[in-house]
Amino acid sequence: MPNFRFEVVTGGRSNLIDEELASTDLASPKAVELAKAAASTSPDADHSESQVKVYDDAGYLIATVNFSDVLRDSPPEDLPTEEPGAMRSG
């Protein structure tokens, strides 16, 4: 199985995580998962410069996930979700 290095950069600090994954296709979803987990530990912090970089065995950068992209895609938890196509009146 391929080995990947995930560099989680938040608040000017870097944390390295090595992990074996079944394929390269799983590296980006894992980076998104790590970004969400790191952002949830300090939800009020400014994550505009935070990111997760993914490197392969050879040390090549294969993906970058910006926290701002991940957080923008997540709906706020306090808002009710509705079924697709549901419309509100008023």
pLDDT in tens, 29-82: 999 999 999 888 877 778 788 999 999 999 999 999 999 888 765 555 554 455
pTM for the structure as a whole: 0.74
> What confidence tier does 83 reach under pLDDT thresholds 50, 70, 90?
low
Nearest residue to 53 via CA among 32, 74, 82: 32
Supply the DSSP symbol for 56: -
Query: In which element (H, E) is residue 17 found?
Result: strand 13-20
Q: Kindly give, in sequence order, each residue whose CB lies less than 8 Å from that of residue 54, ignoring residues fewer than 6 positions away.
A: 4, 5, 6, 7, 27, 28, 30, 31, 61, 62, 63, 64, 65
> What confidence tier does 84 reach under pLDDT thresholds 50, 70, 90?
low
Give the separation between CA 7 and CA 12, rounded to whole angstroms. 12
Tell me what pLDDT residue 25 has.
92
